[in-house]
Structure 1
Amino acid sequence: MLVFLDTEFTDFIDCELISIGMVTAEGRDFYAEVQDFDIAKCNQFVRGAVCESLGKAANSPVSRAALPERIRAWFSSLSTDALVACDNLIDWELLLDALGDDIPSNIIGRYDLAPLAQLPQFQRAAAAYHAEAGHPWHHALHDAHAQRAGWLAIRASGNDDQPSSPADRSS
């Protein structure tokens, strides 16, 4: 099963997780906002585009210490192996960092969405998702859903690039 992942973080240089959003190909999602990140590490863009949309999702606040267990519980609830799809290696690295040494056994690897994200039908579908009210850009859950929408558009166009086995993954 593909799990689309997006994160928001403080800065590319001093990178600290702010929020994490994941959605399965079937549409089941997970979202958490880290409450104890260091806002002083945020660059101006993040302060405006990311921080302004925090605090609006019910049950999303979590401490950095509690985040790993919450992520593990969600992956455990997926009754199958999960190939994590993201368009940026930083998202994958932040997920692994959040999990520490106890990575769920059903995470079988990473699938690089970056090549698909360049295709016009992917971009149109992602933009259409974000154009809907309440789906802002630079919000980890909405960006993960937009990736899913783009991937579904690629599949609908007959260009099904979903990996068929763990051998088709990156990293």
Structure 2
Amino acid sequence: MGTLSFLDTEFTDLATPELLSLGLVTLDGREHYVELDLSTEDGQARMRASSDFVRYGGVLDMWGLVPGAAATELEMGRRTAEWLLGLAFESGSRVEVAFDYSTDFELLEYAIRDSGLWDRVREVVTPVDVGAITGSSEGELAAEGCFRELANRGLRRHHALADAIALREAYVAVKALAMQMAHTTHTNTYRQLVQHTLFQGLDEAWLRTWLRVPAFGLNGRKPMDVLDEPGGLEALQDLVTRIATGTYS
């Protein structure tokens, strides 16, 4: 596996997207962010081409929050290419660029192509669509928590760097949950809970979903976190019974 980085971009509109800003963050927290210099002629033209949401809905009003980020589009592509090439050189491996919207990677590619460095970058970069993973409820919860933390930096949703960081947090949370689930399903307590669930007329697919979601009857804790605690199996069996019989509240 190569070095994993997470990508987000902001662009003019959905119909004819043109790059405005680009954020990348690695799994271990290294960050790269560039944004179009809106004071230039090209920047002004790109701003006029932006949708009302971009101009007035909370995208362009976050410009200037990251010192030194402003650049021409050519410079944005060059800086991004050099950052990715540097990651590949340091790690001695390919850089996996994770995104949840394909246009983000397309805009990254176009910007690097314009800088003349794409032939080098494509040899060390692998695009990875993680939308199916991070778009889960667990991923959304992790992203929301991340945005609350990012408010301390003055960043919020629809800032490319903030969205890239939130994408990373969603990925990490979902992967951690998957690893925990894989461990749980190999325990004796899980097998006993499956038997109890089937006896109550519910299936294992339902149980797997239920185990991952914070439960009201557990003060908002996930059943999976309770299962192997002392008395945890009995508590979950009781909850499953109450759900199956309609006495859960």
> Could you tell me the TM-score, scaled by structure 1's length?
0.87
Q: Which residue of 2 aligns with 1:113?
A: 130
Q: How much does 1:102 deviate?
A: 2.6
CA distance in 1 between counterparts of 2:10 and 2:30 reads: 20
Once the two structures are overlaid, the 10-residue window that deviates more, 142-151 or 11-20, is 11-20
CA distance in 2 between counterparts of 1:42 and 1:76 reads: 31
Once the two structures are overlaid, the 10-residue window that deviates more, 54-63 or 76-85, is 76-85
Q: How much does 1:137 deviate?
A: 0.3
Residue 136 of structure 1 pairs with residue 156 of structure 2:
yes
Q: Which residue of 2 aligns with 1:39?
A: 47
Where 1:98 maps in the other structure, the secondary structure is helix
1:19·1:33 contact (CA, 8 Å) conserved in 2? yes
Equivalent position amino acid for 1:42 in 2 = S
Once the two structures are overlaid, the 10-residue window that deviates more, 135-144 or 79-88, is 79-88
Structure with the higher helix share, 1 or 2? 2
CA distance in 2 between counterparts of 1:63 and 1:141 reads: 18
CA distance in 1 between counterparts of 2:103 and 2:55 reads: 19
CA RMSD of the aligned region, Å?
1.5
1:8-157 to 2 correspondences below 5 Å: 8-35=10-37, 36-37=42-43, 38-48=46-56, 49-78=58-87, 79=90, 80-100=93-113, 102-103=117-118, 104=121, 105-107=123-125, 109-132=126-149, 133=151, 134-157=154-177
5+ residue gaps, structure 2, are: 181-249
Structure with the higher strand share, 1 or 2? 1
Structure label with greater radius of gyration: 2
Where 1:30 maps in the other structure, the secondary structure is strand
Equivalent position amino acid for 2:85 in 1 = S
Question: What's the CA shift string for 1:36-88, capped at 9, x where partnerless?
Answer: 43111111111122101111110100111212221121112212311111000
Q: How many correspondences in the alignment?
A: 159
Where 1:158 maps in the other structure, the secondary structure is helix
Equivalent position amino acid for 2:30 in 1 = R
Q: How much does 1:135 deviate?
A: 2.9
Q: How much does 1:117 deviate?
A: 2.3
CA distance in 2 between counterparts of 1:13 and 1:120 reads: 28
Q: How much does 1:159 deviate?
A: 4.5
1:2·1:83 contact (CA, 8 Å) conserved in 2? yes
Q: Which residue of 2 aligns with 1:4?
A: 6
Where 1:3 maps in the other structure, the secondary structure is strand
Once the two structures are overlaid, the 10-residue window that deviates more, 128-137 or 54-63, is 128-137
Equivalent position amino acid for 1:71 in 2 = T
CA distance in 2 between counterparts of 1:148 and 1:119 reads: 13
2:77·2:108 contact (CA, 8 Å) conserved in 1? no
Where 2:146 maps in the other structure, the secondary structure is helix
